[in-house]
Amino acid sequence: MLKKIVPFACVIVGLTSCSLDDDGDDVIIDEIQIENPSSYTFERDGASTVSFSGQTTRLRMGDELLAAMMDDSSTLEELGAMYAHEEGAADFSDADLNASDKNLLTKTAASVDYFSTNSAEQIAIRADFNSWLQTQVEEVFPNWNTVATAGVAGQLADGASTRYVNAQGLEMNQVFNKSLIGALMVDQAINNYLSPDVLDAGDNPDNNGAGITEEGKNYTTMEHKWDEAYGYVFGQNADAANPNADLGADNFLNKYLGRVEGDADFAGIADDIFQAFKLGRAAIVAKQYTVRDQQAVIIQDKISTIIGVRAIYYLQQAKLELEKESPSYGTVFHDLSEGYGFIYSLQFTRDTSKEAPYFTKNQVDALLAQLLGDGDNGLWDVTPETLQDISETIANAFSFSLEAAAN
């Protein structure tokens, strides 16, 4: 008995033969039948084969680290230990996280496709994250109760909120947060676990074809790798099998998938990603790897779109505020700190037509230097013209318009 599927699955796989039965329950692709369930639910011998607990653990570690970055009693040693957690260390308030052998550091800039032969950039990127923690502790915390001015760290009002910035106007918690979305969640999902070099490594195709599971587990390695990519997107949703009901379940990729979904110009992107994950997983079960890889491309394209859209969105929101007669610099700096992180994350996107990021690290570094380069005081000196120029540069690399991303 084939389970319910979404009819658009026939369209997105792009093969030569696709039909539904009279009840709309059957997918036939090139006369190969794929059982595509209505939810992300897959079983073997009556037990679930879906597992992404490691991804959920890292998302929860990230949430606790971000909270600690906003506690001015946190030390650099404490923040660094949360980032580079070692099994058994009491770094978190959650005992399960303390017991875990997972951490954030070793998965930062760690994808097979982008960093297996690129240790120099990996080292530089990880150094950036550690430097942001250091700046928060050594520059921002000592000025926690000081009013920020050009060249002086401190706090600024942003409506009912208070923003804490460094001397250049950057909120380091926002820079760290949004950059981690790219360097960890996006990079691991689309450049690592969805890579054929990971999915098809070693004996994975043979073992998946024969239904040989990992020792002591109910899933094949190929199934599990695909699920791990899924976990970085949907790992904290209340119902991970039907995750789009509560988008915004974490502070990372899921949150901004929800934000982009809420933009009428991109409505449907969340379901596009979910359906591609689901059909790709079903294709693995059916041993149809061409279909699997086609779904991976859809996911890579859509997730990369999220990063590009949000980078432009924050630059444009800041530009609108900056153009007011009396702009709120707390608002401007908050938007631009988020924008800084999303620009940083562009180096982890994937242009599937080139199998490369939309922007290289050098190009990203140049954009960030441009953002801070209108004067000696960084964001205090940034002009609307610079924000427009950077926005146009990003939009020109993608298939969407600046106007669509800006609202």
- Whether 340 and 177 have beta carbons less than 8 Å apart is answered as no
Distance, in Å, from the CA atom of 105 to the CA atom of 127, rounded to the nearest integer, reads 10
What is the band of 11 on the pLDDT scale with cuts at 50, 70, 90? Answer: very low
| Per-residue pLDDT, 23 | 37
Averaged over 37-45, what is the pLDDT? 97
Of 182, 176, 175, whose CA–CA distance to 378 is shortest? 175
| Per-residue pLDDT, 228 | 98
What is the band of 33 on the pLDDT scale with cuts at 50, 70, 90? Answer: confident
Q: Where are the domains of the chain?
A: 1-38, 49-407
What are 271-310's pLDDT values in tens digits?
999 999 999 999 999 999 999 999 999 999 999 999 999 9
Under 8 Å CB-to-CB from 55, ≥6 apart: which residues?
188, 228, 231, 232, 235
The C-alpha angle 72, 78, 84, rounded to 5 degrees, equals 135
Q: Is 101 helix (H, G, I), strand (E, B) or coil?
A: coil
| Per-residue pLDDT, 28 | 57
What is the band of 32 on the pLDDT scale with cuts at 50, 70, 90? Answer: confident
**% of the chain with per-residue pLDDT over 90:** 92
| Per-residue pLDDT, 46 | 96
* pLDDT of residue 146 exceeding 50: yes
**% of the chain with per-residue pLDDT over 70:** 92
| Per-residue pLDDT, 9 | 40
Averaged over 312-319, what is the pLDDT? 98
| Per-residue pLDDT, 25 | 47
3-state helix, strand, coil in the chain (%, to 5): 60, 5, 35
| Per-residue pLDDT, 362 | 98
| Per-residue pLDDT, 31 | 59
Q: How many CB atoms lie within 10 A of CB 97?
A: 21
Q: Is 18 helix (H, G, I), strand (E, B) or coil?
A: strand
Token couple for 362: 């050098």
Q: Taking all residues of the chain, what is their mean pLDDT, rounded to a whole number?
A: 93
What are 327-375's pLDDT values in tens digits?
999 999 999 999 999 999 999 999 999 999 999 999 999 999 999 999 9
Query: What is residue 72's DSSP assignment?
Result: T
Q: Is 398 helix (H, G, I), strand (E, B) or coil?
A: coil
Distance, in Å, from the CA atom of 13 to the CA atom of 287, rounded to the nearest integer, reads 15
* pLDDT of residue 95 exceeding 80: yes
- Dihedrals φ, ψ of 71, to 5°? -110, 110
Q: How many CB atoms lie within 10 A of CB 66?
A: 17
* pLDDT of residue 12 exceeding 60: no
| Per-residue pLDDT, 27 | 56
| Per-residue pLDDT, 217 | 97
Question: DSSP assignment of 142-188, as one string?
Answer: GGTTSBPBTTB-EEEEETTEEEEE-TTS--HHHHHHHHHIIIIIIHH
Distance, in Å, from the CA atom of 53 to the CA atom of 66, rounded to the nearest integer, reads 20
